[in-house]
Structure 1
Amino acid sequence: MLTLIVCIFSAAILLFVQTRLYAALDAQLGLQIATIGKVYREEPDELADLASEWGITLFRVDDAGGIRQQTEAWAREGLSSPLQPGDSASPLSWTAPSGRRYRVHSLTGSSYRVAAAIDETSLRDTLWTLAVILATGIPFAAGLAVAGGYFLAGRVLAPVGAMAQKAREITAESLAKRLPVDNARDEFGQLATVFNDTLFRLQDAFERLRRFAADASHELRTPLTAMRSVGEVALQSPLDAVAYRDVIGSMLEEVDRLTRLVESLLILTRADSGKIHLVPEDLDLGRLAGNVIDQLHVLADEKRQELTLRVPIRVHATADAALIRHALMNLIHNAIKYTPNGGAITVEVNATAKRAVIEVRDTGPGIPIAHRDRIFDRFYRVDASRSREEGGVGLGLAIARWAVEANGGQIELASEGTDGSLFRVMLPAADDSSAADGHRRVPHELRRGTQEAASS
């Protein structure tokens, strides 16, 4: 492309110089014709002196009587041949029999005709010299362009080579490596930054996958080891029917733990693969929370806990009912599990600024601040030994977070310290909830555990 541009530029220069030189030559030729015409009109006898006095050696003057004056050089070169009869003609270039090139021009007056010519040899030599210079310079310009382009491309593309070399070294075992970024504001720096962000996400995904596989293996190994131990102990010595019943019951408890673990893993696996299709619908969150509490109140009764539902206003949200029910089930079940006997769990449904809010508060030991950032991670437990004693597998909050976020909501641990826990679920409110129910308050309070209802 650069060579083509240089060729076009050189041709344009040659054409421009040629035009300017011929324009100057035509101006000189016109001046000679004007001089010859003036001398003919004023002092016709002095036409023969034009060559010696004015240096005009190629001209011819015709009048009514024929050729009035003609120089020897004009006749020798036969310059009358290109002249056309009639009125004045534009200057033209003509090649004489001798091979020389002349610029010829004529002017016709009332009773005479003046013609003159100028040798083009020096002009053509100049143009030829310029053409040779330009033609010779084009390969040199192309060569310099290639060399300079190669040098500059090497300098400019050096970061790309460095990034490519570094990228070849990155494998699944070395995702912590990053591409070099010399200047984060230029294009290559931005590209490297994007790749580094991608590598960071891949590294995080691989780490979570490794942790998930390790934790899942550990969780599966624990009940299997317990079942094997119980079975081996039972086989070492004969037992009576009651003892065998206890052994079988213990093994069934571990089987139930395994079943719940596998079901939770299946839910998270399907969630990660995107195979769970949401069915959004208009939900009455107060009624949904009440149904969940109705299913779990037996667990609260066993621990003599007070399980309360507060719905000061009717709140609607657009979400998948099954997933939100699952999330609430996990949150309330966790609250019951970690709240001591005689404690209280409160579930409140409310709405603020186009958001439906569900809060689950308990009077349990709470969650220390050090664990707040990881409380929703898979298989993460604040107290691992106590969680296993309670039958938990560390996936309930992870499933709850996924269920809420899949419906466009957020879940957070709103409490601080160890004075109970408060989990807050925020969902997009239904479009017509404010218009339909914004001014209609439905006081409602349901208490489980004391088996009495009261209205607020």
Structure 2
Amino acid sequence: MDRHSFQQANRTSAGNAPPAPAPKRRLPRRQSITARLVLMSAASALFIFALTGIVLYTVLKGELLRHERDGLVTTLNDIGYQIGRAGSTERWERVQLKLAALSQADQRVSFWISGADARFRYGDQARLNPAAITPDSNTVGMLKIPGKEYPLHIMTRTMPAFEDRPEVYVTVGIDTEPYFEMRRTFLVSTLVFSLLGIVLAVISSYWIARAGLAPLRRMSARAQSFSPRKLSARMSAEALPEELSALAHAFNGALERIEEAYTQLEAFNADVAHELRTPLANLIGETQVALARERSAGEFKDVLQSNLEELDRIRSIVNDMLFLARSDQGEAATALVQARVADEVQKTVDFFEFVLDDAGMAITTSGDTDATALMETALFKRALTNLIQNAIQHSPVGALIRVDIAAQQDSVRISVTNPGEAIDPRHLPRLFDRFYRVDTSRHEINGSHGHGLGLAIVKAVARMHGGRAFASSEDGRNSIGFTISRS
């Protein structure tokens, strides 16, 4: 391969190289309920053990210090009685011997006696720090002795002058090694047992969480077994705890709504396919017949005219379906105006003048002709047009159709009533379902028929105006209508 070919190959390879893969989006880490409960239990146990340990340590420290103070007070009282009566050097010698004996008997105890006269002193005065002495105070002081790891707890009392002895200060010290060792032992023991308690709390909380969440895991496994082919399956709530029972009922309610929506969707798809199949079959059939042999321009024009009618019907079905889809998504009427209901009704009735003449029918308007409502007039006329068309299609020749307007507290009620075959009460709630027909054999003027979306649009328009659709059938008269909000 020459240099030119090598460079061209490199350019071709670089141009065809696949793009670098996009970095994967990292999903947030999900924490299990078990781990969360264990962590909360560990935090709770840590807080409780720490609080309990602090309280107990504080109480123990106070009690040990009180015990030390009581011992110092008792010792001062014992030797204070003898020192108070030792007013001569002879008696003072006996006091010194007594103090030496006490020091030897309990090596934790130390004594100091200081004063202006050196003859009435006791103990190594160099080791006694004057700054640590607080005479006649019930508080326990601390005296650091060089060479000792632990300080001494001390207490000092003033002894007044007696005979030859001047005023002296008696200081008693107790070694704090047992005091601090006990505190340390208690602190270490508390920490060890607290950590052990936290570990046990974590283990027990994990076991409790696993056991407590077992019904939830079974519920999850049951939910995973559901599929679109088994929409009738339900979650059994009887064996579940009270907290999960409410969740199971809510889940079952959601499944019921999904099953109902799925069933309606299947029926809707079948109805749409059925409604579109007929005009499409007509279009295909007429086109095939027209193309089967040579035709004149006039004949082709007739075929195209017939096809146009079928195409217009398909367009009408598609437009109505799109309108209902927008209504199902929560679309509301926007171009609202405060209008007089009777005026809008009359405009719609005038539109049917020639149709009524051909059918030998008439329409009368009655009720509250002064009622007003907040409406989008185009949608209002569309709903009323569908109601009047439905009444014309299912009324005998020469029938009188009545449009009633009734003003209510918060809404206006518009109903279209026509004579005709009675409608079974079981069909009334479903009249506003899409493509629903009570009986395909029911009388229709001139064989005309809709495509089964007219009353569904009436219901959608009513909902978009904050109202509802209704239907009734009694005494040989069928009444269908809707309400809209007045403001």
Deviation of the 1:398 alpha carbon: 0.2
String of CA shifts for 1:66-111, please: whole Å, max 9, x gaps.
Answer: 25364xxx66xx8943454875274215456365653222223441
CA, structure 1 residues 270+116, in 2 after alignment: closer, same or farther (shift >3 Å)? closer
In structure 1, distance between residues paired with 2:199 and 2:154? 43
1:81 aligned to 123, 128, 147, which one? 128
Whether 1:318 aligns to 2:318 is no
Determine if contact 2:84/2:159 at 8 Å carries over to the other structure: no
CA, structure 1 residues 2+238, in 2 after alignment: closer, same or farther (shift >3 Å)? closer
Determine if contact 2:46/2:198 at 8 Å carries over to the other structure: no
In structure 2, distance between residues paired with 1:99 and 1:241? 125
Aligned counterpart, 1:441: none
Determine if contact 1:212/1:378 at 8 Å carries over to the other structure: yes
SS at match of 1:377: coil
Q: Which moved more, 1:99-108 or 1:333-342?
A: 99-108
2:432 aligned to 376, 394, 397, which one? 376
In structure 1, distance between residues paired with 2:214 and 2:121? 78
Deviation of the 1:26 alpha carbon: 1.2
CA, structure 1 residues 273+353, in 2 after alignment: closer, same or farther (shift >3 Å)? closer
Aligned counterpart, 1:13: 56
Whether 1:34 aligns to 2:86 is no
2:468 aligned to 389, 403, 410, which one? 410
1:423 aligned to 480, 483, 487, which one? 480
Deviation of the 1:268 alpha carbon: 2.0
In structure 2, distance between residues paired with 1:304 and 1:212? 35
SS at match of 1:370: coil
In structure 1, distance between residues paired with 2:295 and 2:180? 125
In structure 1, distance between residues paired with 2:71 and 2:302? 128
Q: Which moved more, 1:280-289 or 1:37-46?
A: 37-46
In structure 2, distance between residues paired with 1:98 and 1:306? 121
Deviation of the 1:282 alpha carbon: 0.8
Amino acid at match of 1:15: T
Aligned counterpart, 1:396: 454
CA, structure 1 residues 67+94, in 2 after alignment: closer, same or farther (shift >3 Å)? farther
Determine if contact 2:317/2:451 at 8 Å carries over to the other structure: yes
In structure 2, distance between residues paired with 1:205 and 1:400? 20
Aligned counterpart, 2:7: none
Unaligned runs of 5+ in 1: 431-456
CA, structure 1 residues 328+68, in 2 after alignment: closer, same or farther (shift >3 Å)? same
Deviation of the 1:27 alpha carbon: 2.3
Whether 1:24 aligns to 2:76 is no
Determine if contact 1:79/1:96 at 8 Å carries over to the other structure: no
Q: Structure 2-normalised TM-score?
A: 0.74
String of CA shifts for 1:394-442, please: whole Å, max 9, x gaps.
Answer: 11000110011101111111x2457221123221124xxxxxxxxxxxx
CA, structure 1 residues 59+134, in 2 after alignment: closer, same or farther (shift >3 Å)? same
Q: Which moved more, 1:143-152 or 1:1-10?
A: 1-10
Listed as ranges, the matches of 1:133-212 within 5 Å are 133-178=189-234, 181=237, 186=243, 188-191=244-247, 193-212=249-268
SS at match of 2:427: helix
Determine if contact 1:359/1:425 at 8 Å carries over to the other structure: yes
In structure 1, distance between residues paired with 2:257 and 2:451? 26
Listed as ranges, the matches of 1:340-359 within 5 Å are 340-359=396-415
Deviation of the 1:114 alpha carbon: 0.8
Q: Structure 1-normalised TM-score?
A: 0.79
Listed as ranges, the matches of 1:109-148 within 5 Å are 109-110=159-160, 111-148=167-204
String of CA shifts for 1:22-51, please: whole Å, max 9, x gaps.
Answer: 122112212322332233224664634478
In structure 1, distance between residues paired with 2:403 and 2:133? 114
Aligned counterpart, 1:443: none
CA, structure 1 residues 237+128, in 2 after alignment: closer, same or farther (shift >3 Å)? closer
Aligned counterpart, 1:60: 112
Aligned counterpart, 1:269: 325
Listed as ranges, the matches of 1:218-257 within 5 Å are 218-229=274-285, 254-257=310-313
Aligned counterpart, 1:439: none
Listed as ranges, the matches of 1:441-456 within 5 Å are none
Whether 1:97 aligns to 2:147 is yes
Deviation of the 1:369 alpha carbon: 0.6
Q: How many equivalent pairs are there?
A: 423
Aligned counterpart, 1:299: 355
Determine if contact 2:134/2:141 at 8 Å carries over to the other structure: no
Determine if contact 1:317/1:429 at 8 Å carries over to the other structure: yes
Q: Which moved more, 1:279-288 or 1:240-249?
A: 240-249
Unaligned runs of 5+ in 2: 1-42, 161-166
Aligned counterpart, 1:106: 156
CA, structure 1 residues 256+65, in 2 after alignment: closer, same or farther (shift >3 Å)? closer
Determine if contact 2:143/2:152 at 8 Å carries over to the other structure: yes
Deviation of the 1:148 alpha carbon: 1.6
Amino acid at match of 2:390: N
Amino acid at match of 2:120: R
- State, as a whole percentage, how many aligned pairs show the same letter: 26
CA, structure 1 residues 79+410, in 2 after alignment: closer, same or farther (shift >3 Å)? farther
String of CA shifts for 1:149-168, please: whole Å, max 9, x gaps.
Answer: 21122233334434443444
SS at match of 1:369: coil
CA, structure 1 residues 289+142, in 2 after alignment: closer, same or farther (shift >3 Å)? same
